[in-house]
Amino acid sequence: MVKKGLLLVNLGSPVSPLNKDVKAYLQEFLSDQHVVELPKWFWQPLLRGIILPTRTWRSATFYQHMWRKGGSPLVIYTKIMCEKIQKELTDWDVQYAMTYGKPDIGQQLHKMKEAGDDQIVVLPLFPQYTKSTHGGIIQQVADSGIKATIIKSFYQYPQYQKLLAHQIDQSYQQKNYDAVIFSYHGIPTAMVKHGDPYLKECRETTAAVTKFLQLPHEKIRMTFQSKFGPMPWLKPYLKNTLMQLAAMGKRNVLIVTPSFVEDCLETIEENNVQNYQTFRASGGRVFDAVPPMNASDAFCSFLAEISKNQLVQDGGGYDERAKEKES
């Protein structure tokens, strides 16, 4: 009998909020050329000499604010997803790994292969594809030498779109909001110019989810957040949009973050602290956020279903289309 395996992959987290662990995590993350495409000879001295010394303590402070007894929320929710999906896929071997930090993707794949998993699905926990998140995963899967089918995106499934729309409608009913902002994690505009499909997929996500929403569609805005570095990133920026809305008298906003499936640094610290403060300082009054999926039963059932369907479609071999899409 063929044994099937599913490897959930998330971004990763420092092992603790201490400066030394945050620094090690940031160094691994920001050294990935799928994330920062600048030449190593230029980027590495800048990273080690300026960025890590100045950014580490600030990031460590944010992690300390959001840290929970079981670790970072991103890791906690990934573990819960793994456990719930294992209960859905009783005859599968369900594991998780992180692109940066532990557990390591390659090590987990070898562990699964040694356990007898003949057909393995790798599921990045990012609804939309971009090289900056998927590129490192695809590379690590290829480097492991273990054949696996990679699910490149899942924003396009109506089941996911309806789940997200339901969450938004539930939150919207609580108050009288002037605007509903779809805020996606940004990427450098240069990546899009070089063929990255992320912007297109974000627009398609917003349009598809909007069709299922009960709220007035004219209230919906689309923005990008989490800009890093001096280079231009996808616009409009969330922070600028918040200030503009407040100046226009739209003082009650609801934020939805479709590129994040669990609470993390961007949703907890960047939005609920920094962007909240910006909005309030600009004259805003109500700043609420739609909770991410956060390992909900319905979302975990959806992930289990698309994992089963992926093996039927691709037959369990390494997904060369994903590799081509990255290049």
Q: Give 74-113 pLDDT, tens digit per residue.
A: 999 999 999 999 999 999 999 999 999 999 999 999 999 9
pLDDT at 281 over 70: yes
Binding site for Fe(2+), residues?
185, 266
Q: What's the pLDDT at 314?
A: 63
165: left (phi over 0), alpha (psi -120 to 50) or beta: alpha
What is the pLDDT confidence band of residue 312, given thresholds at 50, 70 and 90?
A: confident
Q: What's the pLDDT at 232?
A: 95
The CATH architecture assigned to 4-153+296-326 reads 3-Layer(aba) Sandwich (3.40)
pLDDT at 323 over 50: no
Binding site, residues?
185, 266
Which fold is adopted by the domain 158-289? Rossmann fold (3.40.50)
More confident residue, 318 or 183: 183
What is the average per-residue pLDDT within 42-52? 91
Q: What's the pLDDT at 319?
A: 40
Q: Poorest-confidence range of 38-47, 185-194, 307-316?
A: 307-316
Q: Where in the chain is the domain with CATH 3.40.50.1400?
A: 4-153+296-326, 158-289
- Got the DSSP string for 177-245? -SEEEEEEEP-BHHHHHTT--HHHHHHHHHHHHHHH--S-GGGEEEEEE---SSS-BSSSBHHHHHHHH
What is the average per-residue pLDDT within 189-196? 96
